Chains A and B, each alone.
Chain A
Amino acid sequence: MPTLTYRDALNQALREEMQRDPNVFLMGEEVGVYQGAYKVSRGLLEEFGPRRVVDTPIAELGFAGIGIGAAMAGLRPVIEFMTWNFALLALDQIVNSAAKMLYMSGGQIPMPIVFRGPNGAALQLSSQHSQAWEAWLAHIPGLKVVAPATPADAKGLLKSAIRDNNPVIVLEGEILYNTKGEVPEGEYMVSIGKADLKREGRDVTLICHSKTVTITLKAADALQEQGVAADVLDLRSLRPLDEAAILASVAKTNRAVVVEEGWPRCGVGAQVVDVIQRDAFDQLDAPVLRITQADTPMPYNKQLERAAKPSPEKIVAAARRVLYLE
């Protein structure tokens, strides 16, 4: 199986889907001539031309809405946001137009559109460029939200997203783009809504997604050295949420820690904890703990930024607490 970067896996998914379906097009800032702010769209302008690889002005609300309008008329747009931080300007279109079109038209207008781009913090980009929006987006009925952690999932989930007849949010990550992994060639799809058990253990369930998968696996390694075997569950999809996978793991371990990049209040982890307390109450041996970003804007200073973010050490400490080892 070929080894690809996450960036090239996304590129492959886009290329294959654009080859397969002439209705698929890519639109966003710098996606064409510049080859993508993070080079995800490298070579696509040359292969598909400016009709299907469309450079836009810096006008997120406008081009998100244009994508939605094109989907109303039967195309399958892929809208790239340079980062999800800028997509807040487009939130009205995503929430009020894309997510509700099918419903308020009484089922007449499906909305096959993908909104994708990097989400969450990279390194020292400070407050306005270091935000994880999945809790906001997963709140909205009518959207699907996926957050691939590996190159294979990036390809498989993006292909599934493009073929889905609903608006799908694909959350990527600047620091994921260079990561490498094996990626199946050709027709490789990952079902939206299925979590992936990355590692099996019996003592504690560590639940994570996107960039936090890497640090959670590191934490699981460290716990292993301390004699603690962790289940590591990568949610992959936040809406729909694979509740069955969460409950199956907790039924086995009776303890859980939920990790995410976002802020603690009303976060993805809060939703996961709600599922666990409701449907696995009798199986719990300890309160579920959460690891999140600090409840602050992201600071620029390197040490402060490190302190704000989830880390393997924080996850290990939380796992030890739910095991009553501290």
Chain B
Amino acid sequence: MATATAPPQSQDQSQTELHRQMLRQMLLIRRFEEKAAEAYALGKIGGFCHLYIGQEAVAVGSLTVLRDDDYVICSYREHGQALVRGIPANAVMAELFGKATGCSRGKGGSMHLFDVDKRFMGGHAIVGGHLPLAAGIGFAIRYRGGDQICLCYFGEAAVNIGAFHEALNMSSVWKLPVIFLCENNRYGMGTAFERVAAITDVAEHACSYDMQAETVNGMDVLAVYEATQRAVQRARKGGHPTLLEVRTYRFMGHSMSDPLHGVYRTKEEVEEQKKRDPITQLAHKLKDDGVLGQEGLDAIDAEVHAEVDAAVRFADESPDPAPDELYTHVLAD
């Protein structure tokens, strides 16, 4: 946003540091996911594995706004959010490997990353099922009179399920401090949103629930950051929920078993979208601002590469859960 007077130098520096940090986190996600794909191909990661490549700006831009005591809850495409929230790459990778050192002790896997100390309340793998949970966390915050918020990520395909509407309605009726952040990456698995949704502007749904909404360019990390700031402010002040539609794109298939572009979208479309790569965009901006040159960028990349390599080693060398872990945590004491 343009201002009449230049900001003071210290604010400038903190902005620069913030941008550099955002770039680092997006790169960390990118490199982490590339390694995860490799490990999957090697059979080290099993089951379903949904990569976040292309969508990094969404997690980074939004989570940067949160306080440590806020809550985060996600769908099953949540490696990126977990890393940005501060779950160590080691613990996330180890969970993907199903190891005892994983953030869910090897019992959740890629789709169920949890870290209650980071208030990271899980990846949830039934489409739309965690939206009421987010509202419930918001309910608990309001019940206690706190000023925390709950940030809930979901894909656009969840908009077609009843849980979305029930959660938005009750959140609005009860003024719950929840941000419903829809990552609109255009495809629910292989089904283009416009083929199955009567209203394709997700943000429009907010009207039905008398809720604030905003549509955001999800390839621009700063736009996501600013829109999230506005939503967080609304939620903290009056407990007002917001529906944020963040338009993004995944560069990979739906999951590891889905080819890069498949039969539901063209190679050209994917290549065209890659020109909007959020990491390249921010890197260009920092270069233009004279903040970070190629050398600086390479240094950050080398740093996150090392972090991810170490995570793979850690996961590989970690033990499997003990056999009797099968029967632990079914019930609490």
Contact = CB atoms under 8 A, between A and B. Distances in A.
Interface in A81-104: 92-93, 96-97, 101-104
Nearest to B132: A65
Contact of B112 (A59, A63, A67, A104): A104
A106 B104 contact: yes
Given A65-B133, A106-B103, A107-B328, A72 B121 contact: yes
Nearest to B95: A106
A70 interface: yes
A142 B330 contact: yes
Nearest to B325: A106
B299 interface: no
B124 interface: yes
Given A102-B332, A106-B329, A165-B333, A96 B103 contact: no
A59 B169 contact: yes
Contacts of A97: 124, 129-130, 133
Given A65-B167, A92-B126, A106 B108 contact: yes
A297 to B, nearest CB: 25
Contacts of B163: 61-62, 65, 92
Contact of B132 (A93, A103, A104, A112): A93
A109 B116 contact: yes
A51 B141 CA distance: 12
A69 interface: yes
Contacts of B227: none
B143 interface: yes
A57 B133 contact: no
Interface string B113-126: 01110000110101
B114 A61 contact: no
B145 to A, nearest CB: 10
A159 B228 CA distance: 42
- Most-contacted residue by chain A among B141, B162, B332, B333 (CB, 10 A): B332
Interface string B87-129: 0000000000000001111111000101110000110101001
A56 B143 contact: no
B135 interface: yes
Given A57-B170, A102-B329, A71 B136 contact: yes
Interface string B162-189: 1100110110010000000000000000
A66 B71 contact: no
Contacts of B225: none
Contacts of B162: 61-62
B132 A64 contact: yes
Contact of A165 (B112, B132, B136, B332): B332
A248 interface: no
Interface in A177-191: none
Given A65-B136, A73-B141, A106 B105 contact: yes
A65 B133 CA distance: 5
A111 interface: yes
